């Protein structure tokens, strides 16, 4: 991965006008180097230290600029050399890059030969060198008729002896051929560079959504888009002794997905005990204020869920944590403004806009969640009642005595009430006693009246009343 202290340099060369009438005028290079230069210079995207553009410069100026560009650089500096224009093969099949005063009959003296670029790259101290060629290669040179589609041989042209070199080309095949003084073939607009610019400008090249655009990601993106637009052009990439990953730019619109929260924190959030859930809020607040955007988003979503908790104490604390962080947020905060959305059937995703236009207040993602219903009291009440009822009946049948029924149901009420209670021990004991006594009343009535159906319906009625009591107590913060 990149060294944060390393510097990033770019030299962008474009040629669309030529003194030699046999070299056709191009349209794309001026706009290509202008837009690419703006993106690389943008602190929020490329963040390059220095970007130099040369448009329609003569051979001597271009050759000197290339030599100076690779000289006196440090080991970890990132060097990007980009060329947009004509590429011409001489009679020996060697590639030359045409500049303004290039003469087709004097390529060795008026065009930038590939071997020169390879040589200065070999002598550079930098081990992170990127060469991007958006050339319409011309086929065989001179008066011999060439074949369109012949490989230029990029794989060996720029290999050299250096380390950490990557070469990207719009194509490795000739798109033109000379037949005497006539040029055979059809010129194509710069789909390659247009796709490259699109991937950087929109962040679409950040295929793994980690906020960084690596050179490999950018190439894969450009390759697919170029082939989709024109099957006659196939981009190519060669890597020579590259160690690690070269990060070329940042995604101006990073897509942040929530990361998994620690297991113990997830258990605390899902705990049936209000005190445990409340204790998780401090950890969530810490993650929300951290620098890890994925964890911060996950914490934000968890706090929004807890802000609808059936425990008023928990929901109040969760909302307070959200309000505290949001009120303290500024445009320079770790989490800039976000426009969240939830894709159907997918994990919640927040799309971060570019920081080049900061808003006056940076808000955390707001994800619509459905308010939780107080299902926990019903869950424990019903399950405890059912288990206790059948256990008591089983004991009564086993010992042929209704004493077990008399004892079993009140005990079930005590246990269920204790686990339903939340917060202070006194609240637990009050509810446990209330449920224990109320569940024993139907049994007492059955013994006195000898009408056991009264006891059965009485227990059902008490269960309903107990549920209402628990619900009212929860809403009035009695059991929190």
pLDDT digits (tens, 9 = 90+) for 72-118: 899 999 999 999 998 888 888 888 999 999 998 999 999 999 999 99
DSSP state of 62: H
Max mean pLDDT range (49-63, 202-216, 438-452): 49-63
Q: What is the structure's pLDDT at 224?
A: 93
Q: What is the structure's pLDDT at 188?
A: 45
- CA distance linking residue 257 with residue 349, whole number of Å: 5
| pLDDT band, very low/low/confident/very high, at 373 (cuts 50, 70, 90) | very low
- CB neighbour list of residue 313: distance below 8 Å, 6 or more residues apart: 274, 278, 423, 477, 480
- Reading across the β-sheet that carries 339-341, which strands appear in turn? 255-256, 349-351, 339-341
- CA distance linking residue 5 with residue 82, whole number of Å: 23
Phi (first) and psi of residue 338, to 5 degrees: -135, 145
| pLDDT band, very low/low/confident/very high, at 327 (cuts 50, 70, 90) | low
Would you say residue 202 has pLDDT above 80?
A: yes
Q: What is the structure's pLDDT at 110?
A: 96
Closest to 15 (Cα-Cα) out of 175, 141, 133, 173: 133
For residue 416, what are its two tokens?
A: 């269920």
Give the number of other CB atoms < 10 A from CB of residue 21: 9
Closest to 421 (Cα-Cα) out of 431, 412, 410, 411: 431
Tens digit of each residue's pLDDT (9 = 90 or more) over 331-347: 444 444 333 333 344 44
Tens digit of each residue's pLDDT (9 = 90 or more) over 377-428: 445 555 556 666 666 666 666 666 656 556 666 666 666 655 555 545 555 5
- CA distance linking residue 203 with residue 210, whole number of Å: 11
Q: Which residue has the higher pLDDT, 147 or 264?
A: 264
Q: What domains can you pick out in the chain, each with its CATH number?
A: 8-250 (3.40.50.1460), 263-351 (1.25.10.10), 375-475 (no CATH)
């Amino acid at each position: 991965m990149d060294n944060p202290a390393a510097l990033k340099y770019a030299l962008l060369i474009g040629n669309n006008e030529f003194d030699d009438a046999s070299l056709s005028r191009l349209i794309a290079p001026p706009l290509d180097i202008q837009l690419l230069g703006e993106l690389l210079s943008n602190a929020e995207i490329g963040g390059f230290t220095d970007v130099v553009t040369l448009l329609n410069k003569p051979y001597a100026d271009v050759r000197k600029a290339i030599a100076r560009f690779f000289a006196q650089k440090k080991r970890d500096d990132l060097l990007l050399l980009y060329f947009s224009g004509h590429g011409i093969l001489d009679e020996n099949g060697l590639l030359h890059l045409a500049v303004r005063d290039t003469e087709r009959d004097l390529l060795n003296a008026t065009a930038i030969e590939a071997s020169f670029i390879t040589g200065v790259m070999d002598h550079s101290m930098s081990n992170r060198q990127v060469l991007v060629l958006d050339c319409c290669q011309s086929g065989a040179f001179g008066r011999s008729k060439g074949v369109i589609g012949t490989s230029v041989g990029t794989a060996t042209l720029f290999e050299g002896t250096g380390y950490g070199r990557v070469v990207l080309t719009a194509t490795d095949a000739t798109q033109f051929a000379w037949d005497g003084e006539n040029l055979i073939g059809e010129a194509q607009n710069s789909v390659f560079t247009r796709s490259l610019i699109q991937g950087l400008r929109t962040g679409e090249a950040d295929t793994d959504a980690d906020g960084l655009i690596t050179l490999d990601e950018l190439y894969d993106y450009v390759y697919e888009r170029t082939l989709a637009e024109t099957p006659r052009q196939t981009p190519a990439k060669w890597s020579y002794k590259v160690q690690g990953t070269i990060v070329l730019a940042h995604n101006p619109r990073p897509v942040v997905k929530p990361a998994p929260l620690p297991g113990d924190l997830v258990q605390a959030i899902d705990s049936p005990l209000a005190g445990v859930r409340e204790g998780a809020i401090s950890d969530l607040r810490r993650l929300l204020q951290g620098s890890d955007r994925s964890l911060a988003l996950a914490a934000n979503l968890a706090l929004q869920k807890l802000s609808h908790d059936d425990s008023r104490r928990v929901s109040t604390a969760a909302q307070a944590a959200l309000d505290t962080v949001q009120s303290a947020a500024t445009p320079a905060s770790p989490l800039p403004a976000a426009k969240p959305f939830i894709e159907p059937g997918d994990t919640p995703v927040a799309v971060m806009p570019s920081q080049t236009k900061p808003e006056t207040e940076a808000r955390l993602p707001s994800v619509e969640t459905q308010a939780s219903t107080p299902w926990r009291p019903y869950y424990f009440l019903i399950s405890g009642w059912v288990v206790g009822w059948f256990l008591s009946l089983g004991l009564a049948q086993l010992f042929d005595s209704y004493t077990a029924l008399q004892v079993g149901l009140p005990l079930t009420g005590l246990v269920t009430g204790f686990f339903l209670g939340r917060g202070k021990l006194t609240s637990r004991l009050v509810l446990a006693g209330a449920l224990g006594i109320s569940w024993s009343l139907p049994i007492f009535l059955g013994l006195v009246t000898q009408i056991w159906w009264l006891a059965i319906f009485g227990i059902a009625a008490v269960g309903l009343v107990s549920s209402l009591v628990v619900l009212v107590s929860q809403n009035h913060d009695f059991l929190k």
